[in-house]
């Protein structure tokens, strides 16, 4: 059987490493000075930003995962996802640090065993051991579903 | 070439048929309306004439018989009855068929066509005709070639002063040419020698021969604003088009050469001679007819329009940046230039959007037909009322809207409205009502279809949903939540529908189709009382004129179209207010504090605030804001799927400096406020 | 003072005419919108033909009188606003604009 290559983009929330499918990443942005807050939305919804004339909502990944937000972090970035099988569903996720692009094989993904709850995220695509760290791979469709609720 | 004409004819005739149907619907409600009868007769007449011209011979023959019927109606030999209207409706279907297929060749079709014609003839002979009618009917038949075109001789002799008021006589000549086939003769013999010429004076005079089906008054209207400065004679010289007649052309040429104006007498013989040779003119008449119709509009591919709209949107955004920059420079030239660009882009944008909009009306005919046909089939009596049919929507939206709407209407008729006996038993009027209502709500368009039928029994839906395994048998759902199950895929299958007293045929499909155009659908129903289905659509008018206001730290846009008045308020006035009502000039105004609505921090003391009176569906309410920043044209962008629960915001707008302001849906805001009370 | 009034009159008239021109449809409207349109054209033409001569807009006034007369007839139901009339009105308003500008010296 032919092995399937996958490309992942990893990022950090506090000290934990996570990753998403890099092919569904549209942009990586530095945290802009102003995110326009939208009133009466769930607490993790940071607001909306202007990306080349388009309105993109931004969700704070740290709040989705029930982590503390350390405001002082200057590396915070927004990863704009463009889910491949959902229409008009671009969304920015706010993370502490964007780490790197990982090329790997699908077989390298092992079943995820999470210590403790990861906030609103109920399951992961799998976990990869990379440079002796665990990288949990987030299923983008699942993430979008959570945010859309 | 002729194919192109035929295509054009089909296109135009489709409009004609459309008009015919519309008039027929109106006639059904107002059977004595002479104007409508005329309109129907005229539509049939042009179908007949055009059909013959473009080789739709069967169509022409068929319409001829129909026309005869309406000629009788028009001359009071026949009364308008429901039978007549029903017959005409089915005849229209035949016309549509003939337009689509052209002349018939299949034996079955030909037979059906003959049978139909016999039906029409039988209707005439049985119909309450008076003694003299047979003779006059024969006359109508005998003279089918009677042309509605007439040739006029126009003598237009302006005074010298004509040009002084800016009148351009060439425009007037153009307008005459637009009425039909025309031949203009220019007489220049009064032009003096060069040294005597007054550059501002007019020395020319014209004679125009025009063949048109328009009335003499229409021709007079062309000259209405110059009649003081000219001598004008308009005379009919023939009862048909004589412009192909060699004799006539020769005479015209001679007249110009000799500088002698044509007179009515010159045409006395021609008109008789030409009457004998109608045939060679038909080709010309074709051209004339087509020219007439093509002037007022052109067809453009919708793709090009989409592109135009996109470009205009970009221009508006750029223009906002320009104004901001100009303001910062405080350079007078720059400012005035930017102002001009703003004016232009506003006009451009209005134009561009106007082009891409079509009125809902264009589709409503199909709905009326559906209601009429289905209700007749099922023995139901339904009054179908349309409100807001003139509302305009983006072409793309309308295209995707038709199917879902037809579906919803069909459900209303099939499962909603009861047969008259059942209605009487239920204590209702025997005639059911379906109301189709379209209206603007903030940046949205809402279409509501309501009926006063038997409604939906939530309990039945609940049972079916349990049986289908969609919900647990002990699920605690409100009636509204239960009704929403209708939209869940897997709920509505044939089997379910036959058992359920309510609607359900593919409502999940309706929902999905509407979602494609970013539309949302919701349902309300009360058992025994009726059902309301409401569709919310985005308006394509994605650029609006808005008032930018500050609330707390954020900026919001309020559509200018919703604003009635602005008041400046002192905080003390609010402190005295009671029950969210403030008194200004002895008048009570209810208000909504946007700081509260948007949970803005209420710490900052407000020195002065503004109240913006907005209106929505007959209600007027004030919106309290901290500051009014200014008026902007702005592109409204959708908030997208993740923020769709934001009912009171219709979108977001990117300002000149790249920041974002949220756009308030005033209608929803006021509605929400009302519901809370 | 007179120049000021004249300028004001000129500006206002220009604006009104242009705004009418922008919304003047190609085909006759019906109902309330149509009545409003007729009323607007009548009012502005009435103003120009009345006030115009006083301020030196003689030719504009002459031209405007024609509009006034025609739209008076439409307004009182003696004439119907046909597509042809609309075309001619459009033309005449354009003329009027040009004549006004000429008389204002622009």
Task: Tell me what ipTM this predicted complex has.
Answer: 0.86
C22 part of a folded domain: no
The domain of B332 spans 302-358
Nearest chain B residue to C65 by CA distance is B225
Cβ B53 vs Cβ B284: under 8 Å: no
C95 CA: distance to closest CA in chain B (Å): 5
Say which residues have a Cβ less than 8 Å from residue B614's Cβ, sequence separation at least 6.
B558, B562, B563, B564, B620, B621, B622, B623, B666, B670
C7 part of a folded domain: yes
Cα–Cα distance, B549 to B553 (Å, whole number): 10
Instruction: Tell me: do B381 and B507 sit in the same domain.
Output: yes
B307-317: pLDDT as tens digits = 787 777 778 77
Residue B465 has what pLDDT?
84
Residues of C in contact with B167 (CB under 8 A): 95
* Assigned token pair, B585: 């000039």
B556-568: pLDDT as tens digits = 999 887 888 888 8
Cβ B64 vs Cβ B145: under 8 Å: no
- The dihedral region occupied by B552, where left means phi > 0, alpha psi between -120 and 50, and beta the remainder, is left
Residue A117 has what pLDDT?
58
Instruction: Tell me: do B403 and B521 sit in the same domain.
Output: yes
* Assigned token pair, A123: 């399951």
**Most confident range, picked from A60-69, B158-167, B503-512:** A60-69
Q: Which chains would you list as touching A if contact means 3+ CB atom pairs under 8 Å?
A: B
B339-376: pLDDT as tens digits = 888 888 878 877 777 777 777 777 787 888 888 888 88
Give the nearest partner residue to B639 out of A34, A40, A55, using CB atoms. Answer: A55
Q: For residues B602 and B91, which has the higher predicted lDDT (pLDDT)?
A: B91
Chain A contact residues (CB < 8 Å to B)? 34, 36-41, 45, 48-50, 53-57, 59, 86, 88-91, 144, 147-148
Q: What is the CATH number of the domain that holds B290?
A: 3.30.70.260
Cα–Cα distance, B520 to B487 (Å, whole number): 11
Put simply, the answer to whether C88 touches B165 (Cβ < 8 Å) is no
C-alpha distances in angstroms, B11 versus B5, B18, B50, B356?
10, 11, 12, 19
Instruction: Tell me: do B16 and B134 sit in the same domain.
Output: yes
B89-111: pLDDT as tens digits = 888 888 888 888 777 777 788 88
Instruction: Tell me: do B532 and B570 sit in the same domain.
Output: no
pLDDT band (50, 70, 90) for residue A71: low
Burial tier of B131 (Cβ tally within 10 Å: 0-12, 13-18, 19+): exposed
Domain count, chain B: 5
C76 CA: distance to closest CA in chain B (Å): 17
Cβ B548 vs Cβ B659: under 8 Å: no
Cα–Cα distance, B71 to B132 (Å, whole number): 14
Note whether B597 contacts A: Cβ–Cβ < 8 A.
Answer: yes
**Helix H or strand E segment including B23:** helix B2-29
Other C-beta atoms closer than 10 Å to the C-beta of B5 total 17
Residue C42 has what pLDDT?
87
CA dihedral A61, A63, A67, A71 (to 10 degrees): 90
Q: What is the CATH number of the domain that holds C42?
A: 1.20.120
Spell out, as residue ranges, where chain C has pLDDT lower than 50: none
Instruction: Tell me: do B501 and B557 sit in the same domain.
Output: no
C55 CA: distance to closest CA in chain B (Å): 17
Give the nearest partner residue to B165 out of C26, C27, C62, using CB atoms. Answer: C62
Cα B133 from chain centre? 40
Give the nearest partner residue to B228 out of C66, C87, C102, using CB atoms. Answer: C66
Instruction: Tell me: do B87 and B223 sit in the same domain.
Output: no
Other C-beta atoms closer than 10 Å to the C-beta of B251 total 15
* Assigned token pair, B4: 């192109």
Residues of B in contact with C22 (CB under 8 A): 347
Residues of A in contact with B660 (CB under 8 A): 36, 48-50, 55
Put simply, the answer to whether C98 touches B347 (Cβ < 8 Å) is no
User: Mean pLDDT over all residues of chain A?
Assistant: 83
Instruction: Tell me: do B373 and B522 sit in the same domain.
Output: yes
Give percent of chain B with pLDDT exceeding 90: 4
Residues of B in contact with C27 (CB under 8 A): 296
C46 part of a folded domain: yes
Instruction: Tell me: do B112 and B179 sit in the same domain.
Output: no
Instruction: Tell me: do B246 and B290 sit in the same domain.
Output: yes
Other C-beta atoms closer than 10 Å to the C-beta of B245 total 20
Q: What is the CATH number of the domain that holds B660?
A: 2.40.50.180
pLDDT band (50, 70, 90) for residue A24: confident
B409-459: pLDDT as tens digits = 888 888 888 888 989 988 888 889 999 998 877 657 889 999 998 888 888
Instruction: Tell me: do B390 and B486 sit in the same domain.
Output: yes
Tell me the domains of chain A and their CATH numbers.
5-148 (2.40.50.180)
Query: Domain end: B487, B506, B538, which one?
Result: B538
Q: For residues B18 and B356, which has the higher predicted lDDT (pLDDT)?
A: B18
pLDDT band (50, 70, 90) for residue A92: very high
User: Mean pLDDT over all residues of chain B?
Assistant: 77
Instruction: Tell me: do B509 and B581 sit in the same domain.
Output: no
C26 part of a folded domain: no
The contacts found for A108-115 with CB under 8 angstroms, 24 or more apart, are A109/A6, A109/A137, A112/A136, A112/A137
Domain count, chain C: 1
Q: 3-class DSSP state for residue B657?
A: coil
Other C-beta atoms closer than 10 Å to the C-beta of B544 total 23
**Helix H or strand E segment including B286:** helix B282-294
pLDDT band (50, 70, 90) for residue B144: very low
Q: HSE, CB side, 13 Å, CA atoms: give it for residue B583.
A: 5
Query: Domain end: B294, B321, B350, which one?
Result: B294
B181-195: pLDDT as tens digits = 888 888 877 777 777
pLDDT band (50, 70, 90) for residue B296: low
B496-555: pLDDT as tens digits = 443 333 344 478 778 877 876 667 788 988 888 899 999 988 665 456 678 999 888 888
pLDDT band (50, 70, 90) for residue B216: confident
DSSP A2: P
CA dihedral B142, B145, B148, B154 (to 10 degrees): -120
Cβ C68 vs Cβ C46: under 8 Å: yes
Radius of gyration of chain B (CA): 33
Q: For residues B672 and B299, which has the higher predicted lDDT (pLDDT)?
A: B672
Residue B539 has what pLDDT?
64
Q: HSE, CB side, 13 Å, CA atoms: give it for residue B316.
A: 28
Nearest chain B residue to C68 by CA distance is B225
Q: For residues B395 and B582, which has the higher predicted lDDT (pLDDT)?
A: B582
Comparing CA positions, the residue from A29, A59, A53 lying closest to residue A138 is: A59
Q: Is the pLDDT of residue B494 over 50?
A: no
Q: Is the pLDDT of residue A60 over 50?
A: yes
Instruction: Tell me: do B659 and B635 sit in the same domain.
Output: yes
Residue B142 has what pLDDT?
36
A141 CA: distance to closest CA in chain B (Å): 13
Other C-beta atoms closer than 10 Å to the C-beta of B132 total 9
- Pairing mode, strands B205-212 and B150-158: antiparallel
**Most confident range, picked from B310-319, B390-399, B584-593:** B584-593
SS3 of C41-76: the string is HHHHHHHHHHHCHHHCCHHHHHHHHHHHHHHHHHHC
Residue B288 has what pLDDT?
39
The domain of C52 spans 2-15+34-104
Cβ B13 vs Cβ B100: under 8 Å: no
pLDDT band (50, 70, 90) for residue B676: low
C42 part of a folded domain: yes
Query: Domain end: B142, B164, B191, which one?
Result: B142
Cβ B316 vs Cβ B352: under 8 Å: no
Q: What is the CATH number of the domain that holds B400?
A: 3.30.565.10
């Amino acid at each position: 059987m032919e092995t399937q290559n996958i490309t992942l983009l990893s990022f950090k929330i506090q000290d934990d490493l996570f990753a998403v499918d890099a092919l569904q990443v549209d942009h990586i942005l530095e945290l802009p000075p102003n995110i326009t807050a939208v009133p009466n939305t769930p607490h993790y919804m940071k607001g909306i930003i202007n990306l080349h004339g388009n309105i993109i909502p931004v969700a704070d990944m740290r709040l989705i995962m029930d982590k503390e937000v350390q405001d002082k972090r200057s590396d915070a970035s927004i990863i704009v996802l463009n889910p491949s099988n959902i229409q008009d569903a671009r969304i920015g996720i706010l993370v502490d640090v964007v780490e790197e692009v990982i090329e790997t094989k699908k077989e390298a993904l092992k079943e995820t065993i999470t210590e403790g709850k990861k906030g609103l995220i109920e399951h992961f695509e799998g976990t990869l051991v990379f440079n002796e760290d665990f990288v949990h791979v987030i299923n983008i469709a699942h993430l979008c579903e959570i945010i859309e609720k | 070439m002729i194919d192109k004409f035929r295509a054009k004819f089909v296109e135009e005739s489709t409009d004609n048929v459309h008009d015919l149907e519309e008039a027929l619907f109106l006639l059904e409600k107002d059977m004595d309306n002479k104007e409508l009868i005329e309109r129907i007769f005229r539509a049939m007449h042009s179908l007949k004439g055009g059909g013959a011209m473009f080789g739709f011979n069967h169509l022409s023959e068929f319409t001829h018989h129909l026309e005869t019927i309406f000629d009788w109606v028009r001359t009071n030999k026949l009364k308008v009855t429901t039978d007549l209207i029903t017959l005409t409706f089915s005849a229209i279907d035949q016309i549509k068929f003939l337009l689509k297929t052209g002349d018939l060749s299949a034996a079955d079709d030909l037979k059906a066509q003959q049978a139909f014609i016999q039906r029409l003839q039988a209707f005439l002979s049985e119909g309450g005709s008076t003694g003299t009618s047979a003779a006059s009917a024969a006359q109508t038949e005998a003279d089918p070639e009677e042309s509605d075109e007439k040739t006029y001789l126009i003598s237009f002799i302006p005074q010298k002063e004509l040009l002084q008021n800016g009148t351009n006589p060439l425009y007037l000549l153009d307008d005459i040419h637009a009425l039909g086939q025309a031949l203009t003769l220019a007489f220049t013999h009064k032009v003096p020698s060069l040294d005597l010429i007054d550059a501002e004076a007019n020395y020319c005079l014209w004679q125009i021969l025009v063949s048109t089906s328009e009335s003499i008054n229409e021709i007079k209207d062309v000259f209405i604003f110059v009649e003081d400065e000219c001598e004008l004679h308009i005379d009919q010289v023939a009862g048909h088009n004589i412009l192909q007649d060699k004799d006539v052309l020769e005479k015209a040429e001679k007249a110009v050469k000799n500088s002698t104006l044509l007179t009515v007498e010159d045409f006395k013989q021609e008109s008789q001679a030409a009457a004998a040779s109608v045939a060679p003119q038909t080709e010309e008449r074709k051209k004339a007819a087509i020219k007439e119709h093509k002037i007022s509009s052109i067809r453009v591919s919708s793709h090009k329009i989409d592109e135009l709209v996109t470009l205009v949107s970009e221009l508006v955004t750029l223009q906002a940046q320009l104004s901001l920059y100009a303001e910062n420079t405080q350079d007078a030239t720059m400012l005035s230039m930017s102002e001009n660009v703003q004016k232009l882009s506003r006009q451009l944008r209005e134009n561009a959007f106007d082009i891409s909009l079509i009125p809902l009306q264009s589709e409503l005919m199909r709905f009326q037909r559906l209601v009429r046909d289905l209700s007749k089939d099922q023995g139901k009596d339904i009054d179908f009322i349309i409100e807001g049919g003139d509302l305009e929507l983006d072409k793309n939206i309308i295209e995707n809207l038709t199917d879902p709407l037809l579906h919803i209407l069909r459900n209303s008729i099939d499962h909603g409205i009861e047969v008259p006996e059942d209605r009487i038993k239920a204590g209702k009027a025997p005639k059911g009502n379906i109301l189709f209502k379209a209206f603007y709500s903030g940046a949205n368009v809402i279409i509501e279809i309501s009926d006063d039928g038997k409604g939906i029994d939530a309990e039945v839906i609940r049972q079916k949903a349990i049986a289908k395994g969609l919900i647990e048998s002990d699920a605690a759902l409100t009636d509204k939540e239960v009704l929403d199950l209708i939209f869940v895929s897997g709920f509505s299958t044939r089997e379910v529908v036959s058992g359920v007293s309510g609607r359900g045929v593919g409502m999940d499909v309706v929902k999905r189709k509407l979602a494609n155009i970013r539309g949302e659908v919701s349902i309300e129903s009360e058992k025994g009382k009726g059902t309301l289905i409401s569709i919310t659509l985005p308006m394509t008018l994605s650029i609006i004129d808005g008032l930018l206001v500050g609330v707390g730290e954020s900026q919001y846009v309020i559509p200018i179209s919703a604003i009635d008045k602005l008041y400046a308020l002192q905080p003390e006035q609010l402190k005295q207010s009671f029950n969210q009502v403030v008194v200004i000039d002895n008048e009570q105004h209810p208000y909504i504090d946007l700081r509260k609505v948007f949970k803005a921090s209420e710490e900052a003391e407000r020195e002065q605030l503004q109240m913006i009176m907005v209106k929505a569906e007959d209600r007027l309410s004030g919106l309290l804001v901290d500051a009014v920043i200014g008026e902007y044209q702005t592109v409204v962008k959708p908030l997208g799927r993740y923020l769709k629960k934001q009912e009171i915001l219709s979108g977001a707008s990117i300002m000149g400096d790249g920041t974002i302001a949220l756009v308030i849906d005033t209608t929803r805001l006021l509605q929400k406020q009302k519901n809370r009370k | 003072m007179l120049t000021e009034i004249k300028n004001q009159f000129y500006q206002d008239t220009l604006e009104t005419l242009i705004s009418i021109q922008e919304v003047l449809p190609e085909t006759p409207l019906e109902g309330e919108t149509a009545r409003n349109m007729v009323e607007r054209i009548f009012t502005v033409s009435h103003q120009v033909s009345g006030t115009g001569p006083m301020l030196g807009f003689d030719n504009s006034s002459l031209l405007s009188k024609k509009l006034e007369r025609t739209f008076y007839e439409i307004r009182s139901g003696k004439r119907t606003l046909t597509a042809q009339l609309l075309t001619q009105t459009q033309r005449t308003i354009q003329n009027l604009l040009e004549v006004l500008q000429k008389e204002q010296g622009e």
